[in-house]
Homo-oligomer: A and B are copies of this chain.
Amino acid sequence: MSKGAATRQTILTHAAGLASQVGLTGLTIGGLADDLRLSKSGLFAHFRSKEALQVEVLEHAAARFTDQVVRPALQKRRGVPRMRALFERWLAWEQAEVLPGGCVFVAAASELDDRPGPVRDALVTLQRQWVDVLARSFRYGIEERQFRADADPEQFAQDLYGIMLAYHHHARLLADPLAERRARRAFRRLLEDARR
| Residues of chain B with a CB closer than 8 A to A173's CB | 109-110, 112-113, 123-124, 127
Tell me whether A40 is interfacial, beta carbon within 8 Å: no
CB distance from A22 to the nearest CB of B (A): 7
> Helix, strand, loop or mixed for chain A's interface?
helix
The answer, among B23, B109, B161, B170, for a CB contact under 8 Å with A161, is B170
Tell me whether A57 is interfacial, beta carbon within 8 Å: no
CB distance from A152 to the nearest CB of B (A): 8
Tell me whether A86 is interfacial, beta carbon within 8 Å: no
Find out whether the CB atom of A154 lies under 8 angstroms from the CB atom of B172. no
Tell me whether A80 is interfacial, beta carbon within 8 Å: no
Interface size on A, residues (CB 8 A): 50
CB distance from A57 to the nearest CB of B (A): 16
Q: Give the residue name and chain of the B residue nearest to A192 (CB).
A: B193
Q: Which of A97-146 contact B (CB under 8 A)?
A: 100-102, 106-107, 109-115, 123-124, 127-128, 131
Tell me whether A92 is interfacial, beta carbon within 8 Å: no
Tell me whether A189 is interfacial, beta carbon within 8 Å: yes
The answer, among B21, B106, B154, B179, for a CB contact under 8 Å with A158, is B179
Q: Give the residue name and chain of the B residue nearest to A108 (CB).
A: B110
Find out whether the CB atom of A154 lies under 8 angstroms from the CB atom of B182. yes
Q: Give the residue name and chain of the B residue nearest to A173 (CB).
A: B113
The answer, among B124, B155, B168, B172, for a CB contact under 8 Å with A186, is B155
The answer, among B21, B158, B182, B183, for a CB contact under 8 Å with A166, is B158
* Supplied contacts A101-B114, A155-B182, A158-B182, 18 more A-B pairs, CB within 8 Å: A21-B114, A110-B110, A124-B173, A124-B175, A127-B173, A128-B174, A154-B178, A158-B166, A158-B167, A158-B170, A158-B183, A159-B182, A162-B165, A162-B166, A162-B167, A165-B165, A165-B166, A165-B169
